[in-house]
A and B are shown apart, each in its own frame.
Chain A
Amino acid sequence: ETGVTQSPTHLIKTRGQQVTLRCSSQSGHNTVSWYQQALGQGPQFIFQYYREEENGRGNFPPRFSGLQFPNYSSELNVNALELDDSALYLCASSAAATKAAEQYFGPGTRLTVT
């Protein structure tokens, strides 16, 4: 069984640029959620994708967007990067879209915005 994988591991971008982060869900999982984890804080929910559609969104602006593909992998896109976007971005997959479904996290992508 393959776990959740994310790429790239680390990324450095300049303020105002755009970035795309990628996630492959665990085998058998059809739901992907994205979280932002600032240094020293707990993860904060960005949005969830189920059956290729956004299925819920946290308190993040529209410049945070995403996609889910037929193979359940997902992308997180962030436009007009700001310094405060520097964080660990985590992807989690689950076998169902209900909140009670267990979520399994990937190792994350560390984004640094300068």
Chain B
Amino acid sequence: QQQVKQSPQSLIVQKGGISIINCAYENTAFDYFPWYQQFPGKGPALLIAIRPDVSEKKEGRFTISFNKSAKQFSLHIMDSQPGDSATYFCAASSTGYGQNFVFGPGTRLSVLP
């Protein structure tokens, strides 16, 4: 129940295209869903996050779509750029002390010039 599933494992997109990464969870106690971007040799960097009281959140070229009934959420990267090439992780957590983020296995995105 603690698992977060993520797909695809890898993704190749042409410059200017839309990158879509999907995640699914089982634990209905999760109520905070961040996305992290990680470049080789670096720690994950917080990209964008959503709470289940909204169905969509947009920040620049990055959009999270959230479907509470399906227990799914996705990251859309519009106008993908070569600099977006990185590994993306979705995560989930719930409020309260002593618990922490459960991460998906990651999606390696390559944006071709």
Which of A55, A98, A104, A107 has the most B CB atoms < 10 Å from its CB? A98
Query: Interface with A: B11-19, B37-45, B59-67, B71-79, which one?
Result: B37-45
Known contacts A48-B98, A99-B95, A99-B100; decide if A43 and B32 are in contact (CB<8 Å).
no
A40 B43 Cβ-Cβ under 8 A: no
Whether a CB of chain A sits under 8 angstroms from the CB of B25 is no
Cross-chain contact of B93 among A40, A42, A100 (Cβ < 8 A)? A100
Contacts A55-B97, A98-B97, A100-B95 aside, 17 further interface pairs with beta carbons under 8 A come to A41-B106, A42-B91, A42-B106, A43-B44, A48-B98, A56-B98, A56-B99, A56-B100, A90-B44, A97-B98, A99-B32, A99-B94, A99-B100, A100-B31, A100-B93, A102-B46, A105-B36
> Which residues of B lie under 8 Å from residue A92 when comparing CB positions?
43
Report the minimum CB–CB distance from B41 to chain A (whole Å).
Answer: 8
Q: Mark B85-112, 1 if CB is under 8 A from A, else 0.
A: 0000101011111111111111000000
- Chain A interface residue number, banded: 20 to 34
Report the minimum CB–CB distance from A90 to chain B (whole Å).
Answer: 5
Whether a CB of chain B sits under 8 angstroms from the CB of A28 is no
10 nearest CB pairs, A to B: A56-B98, A42-B103, A105-B43, A99-B93, A45-B100, A100-B32, A100-B95, A107-B43, A105-B44, A55-B98
